[in-house]
Amino acid sequence: MLYQSLATFVLLFHIAFIAFVLLGGLLAFRWRWAPVVHLPAAAWGAAVEFFGWICPLTPLENALRRAGGDAPYAGDFIDRYLAPIVYPEALTHSLQLALGGFVVVVNAVVYALLLRRTRK
Band (pLDDT 50/70/90 cuts) for residue 73 is low
- Please give the residue that has the higher pLDDT: either 86 or 22: 22
Instruction: Please give the residue range of the domain that contains residue 67.
Output: 2-119
- Give 81-86 contacts, CB < 8 A, sequence gap 24+: 82/11, 82/12, 82/15, 83/11, 85/15, 85/18, 86/11, 86/14, 86/15, 86/18, 86/58
**pLDDT at position 71 over 60:** yes
**What is the pTM (predicted TM-score) of this model?**
0.78
Mean pLDDT of 84-99: 80
Q: Cβ–Cβ contacts within 10 Å for residue 61, how many? A: 24
Mean pLDDT of 16-39: 94
Mean pLDDT of 72-97: 69
**pLDDT at position 77 over 60:** no
pLDDT recorded at residue 41: 96
The domain total for the chain is 1
